[in-house]
Amino acid sequence: MGAIYYGTRTFSKHMGYFGPKQECDNCHRTYQKAIVRFKSWFHIDYIPLIPTKTQYFKSCPICGAGFELRKQDAKTEMQNTGDGAAQILEPHAKHIMANKPKGLMATDNSYELWLKDGNSGEDICIASEISKEDIKRFKKERGWKKVPMEKVE
C-alpha cells in the first residue's frame, strides 16, 4: 500500500477588472482594480474533492496592493464592469542573460516581470531581479493563467 496524501490545495483565478479607474494609494497608477478568487479544496491524492474555503481579494493590478472582500461584496463589485474599453493587462516575463553559464549564481535572480497595457501600449515592469520561483508566486497571487517567458541575451 502506498501512502495516501491528503490536505488542502488552493487554486487562484483572476476574475477580471471591475469598477471605475482609481489611483492606487501605493503605486499611484490609475487602473480598474482586479478581483482574484482563491478557492481551497480538500484533496485526496491531489484530487480536489470538497471545497473548504473561498476568498476574494480586490487589488491594484500593477503593484498588487489590496484587501479581502466579503463574498457578497465581491459579487456586487463584479457586476460593475466599468465604462469604456475593457482594460487589458498581459503579464509576461523576461529572463535576462538567459544563456549565462549555469551555476554562476546560487539562485538565478535575473528574471523580470512585466505587464503590457493593451490599451495604451505601455509596458510596465512590476518586479525585477527576481527568481523563477518568484514569478510562480506572482502567478498564483494574481490568478494568472500563464506568464509567457522571453529570453533576453
Of the pair 124, 147, the CB lying nearest Zn ion is at: 124
By the 8 A CB rule, do 91 and 144 touch?
A: yes
Q: How far is the C-alpha of 89 from the C-alpha of 91, rounded, in Å?
A: 6
Contact set for Zn ion, span 59-88 (CB under 5 A) = 60, 62-63, 65
Q: Which stretch binds Zn ion (CB under 5 A): 57-65, 72-80, 95-103, 141-149?
A: 57-65
Lookup: cell for 6: 491528503
Which residue in 55, 87, 94, 90 sits closest to 73, CA to CA? 55
Q: CB atoms < 10 A from the CB of 35, how many?
A: 24
* Residue 27 touching Zn ion (CB under 5 A): yes
Choices 11-19, 52-60, 106-114, 121-129 (CB under 5 A): range interacting with Zn ion: 52-60
127 binds Zn ion (CB under 5 A): no
Please report whether residue 15 would count as binding Zn ion according to CB under 5 A.
no
- Percent helix, percent strand, percent coil in the chain, to nearest 5: 10, 50, 40
Task: Choose the binding region for Zn ion from 27-35, 84-92, 110-118, 125-133 (rule: CB under 5 A).
Answer: 27-35
**Interface positions with Zn ion (CB under 5 A):** 24, 26-27, 60, 62-63, 65
